[in-house]
Amino acid sequence: MKKFNIEFTVGLFVLAGILCLGYLSIKLGGMELLGNQGYDVYALFSNSGGLKQGSSVMIAGVEVGRIRSIGLDDYQARIVMNLNQGVKLQEDAIAAIKTKGLIGEKFIEITPGGADKIIPPGGKIRETLPPVDFEQLISKYVFGKVE
């Protein structure tokens, strides 16, 4: 009887540990288990610059959604974003890929536009800006200097 109790408790602790691990990985990975709320929009970028699934979508530094998927479409990066319900994007909103700090992770920053038309669920953000490639800019400057 005593033996069974110890095994039972250990099992309970292991189970609790696994549950905690699962919770942590879901939280840290930015996944959502219980169905996504909000709606999807997509955008085509000439370069996704190492953006990842689950990266943030921000307006004025506030997270308003996450990246659902990244794929290739006619040699351009097609990025599907899941935006929170209640976030409205005007047709001329600009989506730009930016870096947190100088070498931080990539995210999408949206600057709201002034058009009357709102992008519907499943719609396309037409105005996009690829990440600024500092390496390329510096190399251009450097090689410009050499000659």
Partner 1 sequence: MVNHRLDRETAVPLVLMMVMVFFWACPAWAGMPTEKVKETTDKILAVVSDSALKDPAKEAQRRERIRKTVDELCDWEEMSRRSLGRHWAQRSDQEKKEFVHLFGQLLERTYIDKVEGYSGEKVIYAGERIDGDYAEVDVRIVTKKNTEIAVLYKMRKRDQKWWVYDMVVEGISLVNNYRTQFSDILAKSSFEGLMKKLKEKSAE
Minimum distance of partner 1 from residue 130's CB (angstroms): 5
Considering the complex, state which of residue 30 and residue 130 has its C-beta at the smaller distance from partner 1: 130
Residue 42's Cβ-side half-sphere holds a number of Cα atoms within 13 Å equal to 12
Chosen residue from 52, 100, 117, 140 binding partner 1 by CB under 8 A: 140
Q: How far apart are CA 29 and CA 140, in angstroms?
A: 37
Chosen residue from 19, 24, 132, 138 binding partner 1 by CB under 8 A: 132
CA dihedral 132, 135, 137, 138 (to 10 degrees): 150
Q: How far apart are CA 11 and CA 20, in angstroms?
A: 14
> In the window 91-130, what residues touch partner 1 (CB under 8 A)?
92, 94, 96, 111-116, 126-127, 129-130
Count, residues near partner 1 per rule CB under 8 A? 22
Encoded amino acid at 127, one letter: E
Q: 21 is written with which tokens?
A: 């691990």
* 86 interacts with partner 1 by CB under 8 A: no
Catalog residues that contact partner 1 under the rule CB under 8 A. 90, 92, 94, 96, 111-116, 126-127, 129-133, 137, 140, 143-144, 147
